[in-house]
Structure 1
């Protein structure tokens, strides 16, 4: 395994508004996650990199469901299942689903005028969900956390580092 170093990509340029900054950083992190999973041979992208069984494609699939829940309002019944791949799923299909979900979520975010309103997450027992501001911040945190995991898994897979 030879180390491959990509140039790091600096933080995104965004508009000055709060929503522009939050959405810009979320897109930046999404791109980092996708880049880590692109070009990895299927067997390596599916291989658990750590004892918990976490793998690159499972992280991307999980983040797809996280966005569908928090930004598109879809209910997710079994979060652990979102990390697991079927034999029919490929790197291309997982990445395409993630990018399609990102595009749909970006349309939803673009429609938001007031970040204090409740976000679209499915809410239990008639309670309002967290604000859109909280939702965007949570999505940045969740995506950044898994981007870090993806960094490590990609380096373990083929030695690649950088964003």
Structure 2
């Protein structure tokens, strides 16, 4: 009989089956990663959700907070003065607050994307003086950024309470 602690293992959700267009594939994978990273924060216990799991200071709540800022910068044109600061949630923020803020940023980004029919066109910006990447570049960058931090979140969550899976 094993005395090892029981691991909290979620089933591994496979990548999405999307429609065949480039837009459907890119948005399908981005939404899949968005859901994966927010699920890593949900249910993580306090104070571990905000406690650094590695010497750099990275923690689950900070990762999701950062991704909310990236979504808003890439798709809404928000300016960020201090990117390092985005990796820290406010001490008063509960995990549910950060998850809600992230989901709100994602919803606003999706509203912008819903109006974009041409992947080669620039992402619409509220200020004409703000340069904008193409929709294709923005989607690809967000897949890379979210995927990278989802991997960090996988490791941090497993270190917290043994939870694995997507």
Structure 2 length as normaliser, TM-score?
0.91
What is the Cα deviation at residue 127 of structure 1? 7.7
Q: Does 1:24 align with 2:56?
A: no
Select the residue among 73, 86, 92 that pairs with 1:69. Answer: 73
Secondary structure of 1:29's aligned partner: helix
CA distance in 2 between counterparts of 1:13 and 1:133 reads 19
Is the counterpart of residue 160 in structure 1 residue 159 in structure 2?
Answer: no
Residue of structure 1 equivalent to 2:17: 13
Asked whether the equivalents of residues 11 and 25 of structure 1 are also in contact (C-alpha less than 8 Å), the reply is: yes
Change (3 A) 1:134 1:95: same
Distance apart, 1:2 and its partner CA = 3.5
Query: Is there any run of 5+ residues in structure 2 with no aligned partner, and where?
Result: none
Cα RMSD over matched residues?
Answer: 1.7
With over 3 angstroms needed to count, the CA separation of the structure-2 counterparts of 1:79 and 1:120, relative to structure 1, is farther
1:88 counterpart residue number: 92
Aligned residue-pair number: 161
Segments of 4+ in structure 1 off by > 4 A? 120-123
143, 148, 159: which one aligns with 2:146? 143
| Secondary structure in structure 2 of the residue aligned to 1:5 | coil
